Chain A
Amino acid sequence: MQKLIYYSIVAVILALSILVMNADLFLSTGRTESENVPLHISALKTSLEHAQWESAQQEYQALTGAWQIIKPRIQFSVEKNQMDAIDAGLARLAAYIRWRDRVGAAVELSEIEAHWHDLRR
């Protein structure tokens, strides 16, 4: 009986550790629309394609909000550099949208998307 308890504790500790280290696989997909980073990236792309700057600004706010919600959940299982790159990219994207630079904004958004996919590598 004691051995069973001992092995169970060991198995639970290892399972929890593996779960935390791979948390990004299931915690990065948001439960609601407001937490869905890929959805807002896609919507922002569409707004930029049609040069709809008010809509782009709103989508940018939604994207930033979703990222801020997801970040604390996945921070234990992803690279710090990738997260910092997304933060920096969002800051530059804000400036491109502010000054209505379609090309710059599109490039920046593509880079953010690439870093997002790399997070889950």
Chain B
Amino acid sequence: MNEALVVLVRSLIAFASLLIFTRMLGKRQLSQLTFFDYVLGITIGSIAASVSTDLSSPAWPHWVGLFTWVAVVAIVQWCSIRWKIVDRFLSGEPVVMIMKGKILEQNMKAVRYTISELLEHLRDKEVFDISQVEFAVLETSGTLSVLLKPEYQPPTLKDLNITPPQGGISTELIYSGLVIEENLKQAGVNHKWLMKQLKAQGISNPDEVFLATYNLQSGVLYVDKY
């Protein structure tokens, strides 16, 4: 047996399968994962590693295990969306730690959350004085959401009666020297217009540009050269 070749082929299979399966399960930020999601990730990763390198057993049973775990998670996700009670059972519910400035000790005891953990998470949110907090909620992912009392909240442009500048999303027109034709169409501009704008900035060829983005609302073309 050519072990290196076998590991190469099995690794390609594990990589492709894992990529496809994780795409099927959808996107969630690392900070939004529950403890179960975290353990699940480790388990699935461990099974994929067995598909890749465990030559003492065939790849097929491990792949079936990988597929089964992913399929069960997908079914559970579907059930969670369909029935709220399933979601509550699996993910739990957020728990209020501070309500109207008052610490709820019973709630903290119920989730085994200590005062030092509460203060640490508040400091994480740049709150060094607990008296400034109106509400604090411990989310199912373990993060703490904090709402400060109105007098301690930073002012907004509305509070200061300032009209904000036009915002909007930028669209990439050039990336790594390549013009993205689809985005040109989406932004409602064309190649001729783009070249004119680049020439105005002393650029004769899109090859010289690392990144160029266009904001339709403000009409600003941002260009970054190599």
- A residues neighboring B (CB under 8 Å): 10, 13-14, 17-18, 20-22, 24, 71-72, 75-81, 83-84
Q: How far is the CA of A90 from the CA of B5 in the complex (A)?
A: 24
Report, nearest first, the 8 A-B pairs whose CB atoms are least far apart.
Answer: A80-B55, A21-B60, A17-B13, A75-B1, A21-B59, A13-B16, A76-B9, A83-B1
Give which listed residue, A13, A14, A22, A76, contacts B6 with CB less than 8 A: A76
- B residues neighboring A (CB under 8 Å): 1-3, 5-6, 9-10, 13, 16-17, 20, 55-60, 63
Please determine whether B58 and A13 come into contact, CB atoms closer than 8 angstroms.
Answer: no
Q: If A17-B63, A21-B59, A21-B60 touch, does A80 touch B3 (CB 8 Å cutoff)? A: yes
Please determine whether B59 and A10 come into contact, CB atoms closer than 8 angstroms.
Answer: no
- Contacts A75-B6, A76-B9, A80-B56 known; list 20 others, CB within 8 Å: A13-B16, A14-B16, A14-B17, A17-B13, A17-B16, A17-B17, A17-B63, A21-B58, A21-B59, A21-B60, A72-B2, A75-B2, A76-B6, A76-B59, A78-B58, A79-B55, A79-B58, A80-B55, A81-B56, A83-B1
Please determine whether A79 and B56 come into contact, CB atoms closer than 8 angstroms.
Answer: yes
Q: How far is the CA of A20 from the CA of B56 in the complex (A)?
A: 17
Q: Is the interface of A mostly helix, strand, loop or mixed?
A: helix
Determine the chain B residues whose CB is within 8 A of the CB of A18 once the complex forms. 63
Give which listed residue, B1, B2, B20, B60, contacts A22 with CB less than 8 A: B60
CB distance from B77 to the nearest CB of A (A): 19
Please determine whether B56 and A13 come into contact, CB atoms closer than 8 angstroms.
Answer: no
Please determine whether A77 and B59 come into contact, CB atoms closer than 8 angstroms.
Answer: yes
Q: If A21-B13, A77-B60, A81-B56 touch, does A13 touch B20 (CB 8 Å cutoff)? A: yes
Q: If A21-B58, A79-B57 touch, does A71 touch B63 (CB 8 Å cutoff)? A: no
Q: If A14-B20, A76-B59, A77-B60 touch, does A20 touch B9 (CB 8 Å cutoff)? A: yes
Q: What are 20 A-to-B residue pairs whose CB atoms are below 8 Å? A: A13-B16, A14-B16, A14-B20, A17-B13, A20-B13, A21-B13, A21-B59, A24-B58, A71-B1, A72-B2, A75-B1, A75-B5, A76-B10, A76-B59, A77-B58, A78-B58, A80-B3, A80-B55, A80-B56, A84-B1
CB distance from A115 to the nearest CB of B (A): 14
CB distance from B184 to the nearest CB of A (A): 18
Q: How far is the CA of A22 from the CA of B13 in the complex (A)?
A: 12
Please determine whether B6 and A10 come into contact, CB atoms closer than 8 angstroms.
Answer: no
Please determine whether B63 and A21 come into contact, CB atoms closer than 8 angstroms.
Answer: yes
Which of B6, B10, B20, B58 has the largest number of chain A CB atoms within 10 A? B58
Chain A: which residue is nearest B55 at the CB level?
A80
Determine the chain A residues whose CB is within 8 A of the CB of B60 once the complex forms. 21-22, 77
Determine the chain B residues whose CB is within 8 A of the CB of A24 once the complex forms. 58
Q: How far is the CA of A14 from the CA of B10 in the complex (A)?
A: 13
Q: How far is the CA of A17 from the CA of B10 in the complex (A)?
A: 9
Determine the chain A residues whose CB is within 8 A of the CB of B59 once the complex forms. 21, 76-77
CB distance from B145 to the nearest CB of A (A): 37
Q: How far is the CA of A78 from the CA of B56 in the complex (A)?
A: 9
